[in-house]
Every structure is written in structure tokens, then in C-alpha cells.
Structure 1
Amino acid sequence: PGLPVGAVFAVLLAMGLVASLGGGVRWGLLNEILAKGGYLPGRSVFNMMSGLTQIAGFATGGALLAALSPRVCLLLSAALYLTAALALRLGLSARPPRSAGRPSASATWRANSTLWSDRSRRLTYLGLWLPNGMVVGCESLYVSYAPHAAGTLFACGALGMFAGDVTVGRLLPPGVRRRLATPLLLLLAVPYLAFAVHPPLPLAALCVTLASAGFGASLVQQERLMDLTPGELAGQALGLHSSGMLTMQGVSAAAAGAVAQLTTPATGMALMAAGSVAVTLVLAAAGRRTPRPLITPAPAAVEGSARSR
């Protein structure tokens, strides 16, 4: 109780650093243990379960806040994180390291430079970081926009993510899916333009649900990233994706908050969405001017075995 705001920010910064590292480890491990071409359906399983638990979590959290203090709810959340860590420690089998030698910042920098040197990978990274991050800036204003119904908007967002991930990860054939990155990114942002007229809560919840289905674009983009990346750099590539995504989400949330302070939360959401649309269209135009690399399609047997988020 009474923890200064600066100390809260320091805790959140530390959590973000750990989450970034954990993302690279987790997704690199997933790519390693699944058969070739199985990353997207495997990642979709993760995302699908994440959407379900977020829906349940927002509902449960709202109910707990009505009966308990925010401090107690945060402590319960920390206990659940520790339980999950214990389950991972006991449940995952030991695996050999992906690379030998002593880890160093210079080695990481060299690998990131290699990943960034290819134009196709560079555009893929920007597509993963920028449009997504700006829409997370919209989400960061839910509490300001609807203080007494923010949980509803967050739950609707999780529901939309779930629907988008099921559709992209399980229902769409590979040939169709690879053409939908730009349309899905536009879907991610365009519904938020309606917030310019400050829609009532039911319409706002519908817009959030529709927009969040566009997060399925990240599955298409990550599949492309894996196709463009040598196997020995897969974990590094996913770690760079995770750290860049979290960074841009934080920057966009701060920018959205600054705009909202100068205008209104609704205007801030609409402006961030307009920025996301503009970036998506610029990246799509740049992608059309980039020679298409040869991408080997995933084996049909793997693709049909476990499509989900």
C-alpha cells in the first residue's frame, strides 16, 4: 500500500523485460518441438487458450474486485504466476541448448543485425510491431473511455482475438491465409475509427470485438517470419519479435495516453487507429515492391493436424 507510481513503473518495466525473454524462449521451444510447418497451428493453440483464459480472467477479476481489494487481487494473481512457474518447471523435460558458447550482448546484436539485414524480414517485423502496437494503444484507453465497463471491453477484445485465431489457425487453408495479413491488419484498426463519434457502450463493445479478430494477422506474419528465417536463428527471431512488439505496445500506450490528455480518450483511440491503418497501407505498398522469396508450404499432414490458437 502506498507504493509510489515510479516504483510501480519500475516493477512493470522489470516484468516486461522478463516477459520479453520468456517469449523468445517459449516460442523458440515451441518451434523446436513441433514438426516442420507446425509452428502456426501450435502457436494458434497457445493463443486460443490465452483468449479463453483472458475472458474468464476478466470476468473473475471483476467479480473479485467487487468483494476484495485491488491489492489482494494482485497478490492472488502473483500466486497464480508462481503456480504456473512451478508447473512449467516440473512438467517440461530437459532439452539441450540450441547453441554452444557463452551468451553475450554482442552475439545477440550480431544475430539481430543478421535478421534485420533482409528486407523481407524487416518489413515482416515492422508489420508485427507497428499496426499491432498502435491498436494496443487504443486498448490502453478502455478504462478512460468507460471507467465502469472497461472489463466488458477487455472481455470483448479477448473474445474477438479468440474468434480470429480459430479462423486463421484452424479454418483457413494455407494458400488463403498467406494473402490475408494486410486485410486482417486493416480489420484490426478500422473499427476503432468509429470511436471518433464516441459510440455508446454496446456499439463500442461490438467494434472492439470485430477489431480484435484482426489480431489473427500476427499468426500469418509469424508463419512468414519462420519461413524467412534459418532454423538456427528461429528462437532469436521470435525473441526479437516479442521484445519489439512489447516495446511498441508500451510506446503506443504512452502516446495514446498523451493524445487523450490533450483531447479525449475517444479521440485518442480514433487517432491511434488511423495511424495503424496508414502504417499498414505503407507496409503493404513496400511489400509489393519487394521480390518475393521462395516459401516452402507446410506439409498438408501437419497443417491439418492441430490448427488452433
Structure 2
Amino acid sequence: MRTYREVFSYPEFRVLFIVRCVTMGVVSLQSLALASITYAATASPLLTALVLFGGPLITMLGSATVLGASDSLGVRRASLVMPAAYGVACLLQAIPHLPWWSRLVILALPYLAGSATSGSTMRLMHQILPDDGFVLGRATLNLAVGVMQVVGYAAGGVLIAHLPVSAVFLLAAGGALAVVLLLRFGISERPGTQPSGRLVQRTRAVNRHLLGSPVTRPVYLALWIPNGLIVGCEALFLPFSTESGVDAAGLLFAVTAAGMLTGDVVMGRLVPPTHRDRVVTPLRLLLALPYLGFALDPGLPVALVLGFVASVGYCASLPLQERLVHTTDPANRGQVFGLAGSGLMIGQATGAALGGAIAEVLDAHLTMALLAAASLFVSALLTPALRRSAPASARHNDEQRARGSMHA
């Protein structure tokens, strides 16, 4: 499957794409509005970074205990949990004159509610599309993320400048309600693939297997840590633009989203399947290298170019996620991708918190360069271990297991 016409020929995938678009618009509006309130109230890079990217830290509890619900619940019901919680949270955020600390508590609500079902979207996509459509389907959903981050952050900057913040939150709540309706009436229910009993024990057992395997553990770490450190750079866009004397945080977010969008289009549409794994390492390095240039405190035009080029490297995640499809049990697909998604968000939140903490002491541009250097170091360390999950190695391991079974 190589064309957008093919993936969009599936009606439920079209619904899933629209859902992803609206969801990212909601998240972008809500995040930028909340970050603006927090930075204006506290002038703290750390708290602003936590508002932008810290919510997923709450998913650690659910990922460790009840993430298996992604496979035991019907996929439509599981997919409804987080947008419904987002709608409630945005309505609460719209209450005027809330203390900024109470807004942080409200921010945690959708992540707490959705931590048990975070793999449901990828499980649903995998059930809608054939196996050879995974990378293009995933890239197309990422396309929705990139486009709507560009639109959401750009529109959010304009709306915040011209409307009360409570009105922006109400718009976000309306978007969340639209997502709930689209999922309820546009997606057919499918039964769970795992029993609902012993959920905590099964969740822990599958997590131990995935994170203990020398094949899948490096893939998860490569998806989580280098990306999370670069998100830590992005979490400092608002302090960086303030230091530079230019109010351009929304523009920086939009440009980096456009870079991610470009990378996903190229990987999903143009790179042949036989070449995807060959470009994983160069793209993982590209994700961090441009941010080293922030050590020189570049002006806004150069910063925009550096952010755009670096974000193209995010598309390395697509072939890495494809490796998880080929090296894990299909019956656990929701938890496999739920763990990947939860770990990614936790890595992003940790990177944002780390960046914000360092930026309390150092200038934002120097902090961004330090985080980029750390990302490069981790990527280099993980490169040898990632060879175990490469397609050729996976086939060799399968053959070895088959030969062992025959001799047994």
C-alpha cells in the first residue's frame, strides 16, 4: 500500500483521520492557552514546560497497571475515553479566574482517564488497514497531527490575542465533543482480543516481556529518550522567544510541526519499504543535530530553519514502530502501542521538565543545545542494540526459533 487514495478508500480510516485532526486542534488550543496563562502568572520556564508537555507523566500509573484494557475493551469504547475526558477538562478550564495551580490539576484529568486505553487508536488503525498499510496509515495520521499542530498553534496565537482565554477553552471543549460523536457514530465496535479478568497481572506481565526483550527494549528506548529530549528543546520556545525579544513561540511550534509533517510525508509516501530501515540512524541524528546551533543564540529566522530541519527527523519513529508490529504478539497489539505511546509522552514530559529545570539556571538557548547533545549521545548508544530488531535480524531469529522447534 503506497498511495493516499488506497488508505482513504477505507471509510473508517477517513473517520479516524478526521478524529485525529480535530483532537490535535483541541490539544494545541488548550496547551497554548494554558501555557500562556501559566507563564504570565509565574514567569517560570519549568512550570510553562510542564503545562505544555507534563500532563502525560500521570500516565505512568495507568501504563504500569491497567494498560491491558487497550486489548480487553471494545476498541470504540476504549477510543472514547480520552476525548470525553478532554471535553470535561476544557469546560473546567473555561471557568474564569481559576488559580494557575488548579489548572495543572485539571490538566491531569484526560491523561489519568486515558492512561488505560492509550493504545486503542493504533489497535483500531491496524484492524482497519491491511498489514502492508501500517507505515502509510501511521504516517497519514501523523500528517493530521502535523497539519493541525500548525493550524492549532497558529490559530491559538491569534485567538488568545483577540478573545478571552475562557472562550478559547470553550472552543476546545466543542472540538472534543465533536470527536466523541465522530467515534460513536463513525466507527464500528470490535470486541477485545484479551479477557477482561486479571487486568493488572496481565498488564504487568506483558510490560515485563516487552521491556525485558533484547529485541523490543531498544526500540522502545529509541522511541522514547532521544525524542523526549528534543521535545524538551521545543518546550523552551516560549522562554527562548521572550529572551530574544520576539513573541514568536506559536510560530516556532508551527514550523517544527511543519517539519514533522514533511518527514512523515516523505517516509510514508516516497521512501520504498526496502529502504526505510536504512535511514533510521541518519534521521535519528538529524532530529538533534540542528539544535546544537542554538548554542550560538540564533535570531528568529535561523531558529525557524533549525527547528524545521530537526523535526523532519521525527519520521524515524515510523519504521521503528513497524518493527514492533513484526516482533510482537498481535493479541497484545493495543498494549504494545499503548506502551509505546505512553512511554513517548512520558519521555516528552520528562524532557520538558528537564529542559525547564535547567533553563531556570541557564539561558534557554544554551539549555536547548545541551538537550540536543544528550539526544545524540543516547541515539549513538542505542544504535548497536537496534540491529536486533532490523528486518533481516528478525527473520534470522524466526528461522532460528523454527529450527529449534523442529529439533525439539
Q: TM-score, normalised by structure 2?
A: 0.69
Alignment match, 1:240: 339
Give the whole-Å Cα distance in 2 for the aligned partners of 1:18 and 1:206: 37
Q: CA deviation at 1:268?
A: 1.1
Alignment match, 1:134: 229
Q: Report Cα offsets for 1:116-161 as digits up to 9, x if no partner.
A: 2211100000000000100110010000001410011011011101
Query: How has the CA–CA distance of structure 1 residues 290 and 58 changed in structure 2, closer, same or farther, with 3 Å as cutoff?
Result: closer
Give the whole-Å Cα distance in 1 for the aligned partners of 2:257 and 2:215: 30
Query: How has the CA–CA distance of structure 1 residues 34 and 75 changed in structure 2, closer, same or farther, with 3 Å as cutoff?
Result: same
Q: CA deviation at 1:288?
A: 4.5
The letter of the residue matching 2:363 is: T
Bigger Cα displacement from structure 2, 257-266 vs 51-60: 51-60
Q: Does the Cα contact within 8 Å between 2:216 and 2:389 map onto a contact in 1?
A: no
Greater relative contact order structure (CA < 8 Å, 6+ sep) = 1
- 2:170 aligned with 1:75, yes or no? yes
- 2:246 aligned with 1:151, yes or no? no
Query: How has the CA–CA distance of structure 1 residues 128 and 173 changed in structure 2, closer, same or farther, with 3 Å as cutoff?
Result: same
Q: CA deviation at 1:245?
A: 0.8
The letter of the residue matching 2:222 is: G
1:1-309 matches, cutoff 5 A: 1-102=96-197, 104-147=199-242, 148-288=247-387, 292-294=393-395
Q: Does the Cα contact within 8 Å between 1:180 and 1:220 map onto a contact in 2?
A: no
Alignment match, 2:38: none
Q: Does the Cα contact within 8 Å between 1:25 and 1:239 map onto a contact in 2?
A: yes
Give the whole-Å Cα distance in 2 for the aligned partners of 1:110 and 1:34: 28
The letter of the residue matching 2:304 is: A
**What SS class does the counterpart of residue 2 from structure 1 fall into?**
coil
**What SS class does the counterpart of residue 191 from structure 2 fall into?**
coil
- Radius of gyration: which is bigger? 2
Give the whole-Å Cα distance in 2 for the aligned partners of 1:214 and 1:34: 25
Q: CA deviation at 1:55?
A: 1.3
The letter of the residue matching 2:280 is: A
Q: Does the Cα contact within 8 Å between 2:323 and 2:389 map onto a contact in 1?
A: no
The letter of the residue matching 1:165 is: D
The letter of the residue matching 2:256 is: G
Bigger Cα displacement from structure 2, 131-140 vs 59-68: 59-68
The letter of the residue matching 2:237 is: Y
Q: TM-score, normalised by structure 1?
A: 0.91
Give the whole-Å Cα distance in 1 for the aligned partners of 2:371 and 2:114: 25
CA RMSD of aligned residues (A): 1.8
Give the whole-Å Cα distance in 2 for the aligned partners of 1:43 and 1:283: 23
> Which consecutive unaligned segments of at least 5 residues does structure 1 have?
297-309
**What SS class does the counterpart of residue 182 from structure 2 fall into?**
helix
**What SS class does the counterpart of residue 126 from structure 1 fall into?**
helix
Q: Report Cα offsets for 1:161-198 as digits up to 9, x if no partner.
A: 11000001110001111111121111111101100011
Query: How has the CA–CA distance of structure 1 residues 117 and 138 changed in structure 2, closer, same or farther, with 3 Å as cutoff?
Result: same
Give the whole-Å Cα distance in 2 for the aligned partners of 1:182 and 1:222: 14
Bigger Cα displacement from structure 2, 76-85 vs 162-171: 76-85
